[in-house]
Amino acid sequence: MGNFIKQTFASLIGSLLGLLIFVGLGSTGFILLLFAAASTDSGPKVKDSSMLVFDLSTKITDGEPDSSLILQQALSGNNQKRMTLRSVLDALEKARTDDRIVGVYLDARDSSGTESTGFATLKEIRQALTQFRDTGKKVVAYGVGWGEKEYYLSSVANTVVVNPYGGMEINGLSSQPMFLAGALEKFGVGVQIVRVGKFKGAVEPLILKQLSPENREQIQTLLDDLWGEWRGTVGKSRKMTPQQLQAIADSKGILEADEAKTNRLVDKVAYYDEVVTELKELTKTQSKEISFKQIDLNQYAQIGDMGKNRNSENKIAVVYAEGSIVDGDGESEEIGGTRFAQIFHRIRQDKDIKSVVLRINSPGGSATASEIIQREIRLTRDVKPVVVSMGDTAASGGYWIAVDSNRIFAEPNTVTGSIGVFGSIPNFQKIANDNGITWDSVKTGRYADIATTTRPKSPEELAIFQSSVNRIYGKFVDKVAKGRNLPQARVAEIAQGRVWSGKAAKDIGLVDEIGGLDAAIAYAATEAKLGDKWQLEEYPKASTFSERFFGKVAEDAQTVLKINQSSNPLKANHPLTKEFEKLQAELATLQQMNDPLGVYARLPFNLIVE
């Protein structure tokens, strides 16, 4: 028996050693292959008279994606292109003065990337395309089915072409919030709400079955501002008045290809091969070639910018705060209060970093986490300039962390404001009782079980929660008043949880300047008196190669495999799928609510403009 155990143990050890050697050799071989590939591949090449191709299926984000997202895409077979806004803007600026690039081709045959991109981000890209076009180089856009977002970007082109069997949806903007109150009521889940601000619509999906008059008013005003900016911007490019575009939206809504041309929304109706033929002429491509001379925007962004890359000991830190604000470190695409506080603490102590740009793209979230981040930002501002660049959304907690900066930049179609707080208190008494589950309680104090979800809260308990919400709202208003140098009464008037467009926010003093990320960076350089002697340093830091492949790879692989065990039977663009995705987003938002005090500064649930 003893020999058997020894032999079995020896066999096990031998198998483990063999497995380790196999994995080691495999990993070493994999790395050697990568280095070999890197040494033989000199990188993408740019031919003379090339067209820069911007595929509108590319997803644009503020910061670099987390390693887990890259792994998920690789294992799931989802090869959606991704680029950061910074790399898009840099590539277009580089192409503007690159004699080898004769134009930009906006490929809108698949425009799925713009679905998750807000109008503020699209405006920054559009402005970069306008500067490119103003040099005399051509911008050509081709698509099959345009919506307002894709056309907002594509309308900047010198020539807009639509497929003969294509068309466009020009019918205005809308928002359709999803309400869960009926479902919660049906399943016996009770929700009690404490809030401050008559416009704080974030709680309405839990307690109402339709929009309150106040929430309807603020969303209508916001959409009117965004639509007004859309009509003005598109109309300028297409030489049409806002009134003409409004008439098309009200009378047509959806236009077929010929109607789009008749109404001057496009310049040509043609097939893709016909567009390719014209692009061949523009790029001086021989007719025997299959396609025109081109380079993908993502590839072009990876090419050095011909000696213009800054190299300096002076750094401007760009911190990307993207996602919901949560307590703790947070996950991928979340703004963890602890993690971002540590980032600003390190930046404050780094003497090479002379100024900071905080890029915010967040609907808010945990009030506690917002305050933790805001405190570190305030301390950093005492040492070096901190400039805020608002992206598509910088509202509620997203505005909270912006308020103590030296200057706030926003695009006219940024969604911001929402200065208000709330708390939601669920209980599962009815659903449990209906299924034979009951509770009893023994306690040593009147409020010892105040945090329970087994029963509704008493009026006295609700008063305690309301007092906490009132206190935090008062602090929020006070922070805005001091940070923006506004009278308390004025802040109380424009707060109330109301959302504002970037343009309106500037008019009422919540924002300093209309401008994008580049404008904020330029201001940060000026404030720190750096001249042209500076370079950017981005945070949070992207994962290294070893971290991506050997750090969390097992955990990420497990997550991915679990996700891919079931597949969605409906196509991604199916209308029902979109409604399921909305529901999934609402439930995900509930999961992100982890504030230790149960108090939140957040936008109306996942405000989606369609």
The catalytic site residues sit at 200, 396
CA-to-CA dists, residue 128 to 85, 96, 301, angstroms: 11, 9, 14
437 CB-side CA count, 13 A: 9
355 alpha-carbon distance from chain centroid:
24
Alpha helix stretches (DSSP H) within 239-331: 242-251, 257-262, 272-282, 297-301
CA-to-CA dists, residue 308 to 94, 97, 132, 531, angstroms: 9, 11, 17, 15
Cβ contacts of residue 219 below 8 Å, gap of 6+?
175, 201, 211, 499, 604, 607
Closest CA to 269 of 280, 284, 255: 255
Closest CA to 230 of 127, 175, 151: 151
Q: Where are the beta strands (DSSP E) in 259-352?
A: 268-269, 294-296, 315-322, 324-326, 334-336
Task: Decide the pairing of beta strands 315-322 and 364-366.
Answer: unpaired
Q: E strand or H helix at 290, and its extent?
A: none
How many Cβ atoms sit within 10 Å of the Cβ of residue 558? Answer: 11
590 alpha-carbon distance from chain centroid:
18
Assess contact for 326 and 369: CB atoms under 8 A: yes
Q: Where are the beta strands (DSSP E) in 171-272?
A: 190-196, 253-256, 268-269
d(CA 57, CA 253): 24
Assess contact for 106 and 56: CB atoms under 8 A: yes
Helix, strand, or coil here: 238?
helix
Helix, strand, or coil here: 291?
coil
Identity of residue 334 = E
Q: Where are the beta strands (DSSP E) in 214-258?
A: 253-256
- Eight-class DSSP state of 202: G
d(CA 42, CA 33): 15
Structure tokens at 536: 């950017």
Length of the chain: 610
Alpha helix stretches (DSSP H) within 396-436: 397-400, 429-434
Assess contact for 389 and 397: CB atoms under 8 A: no
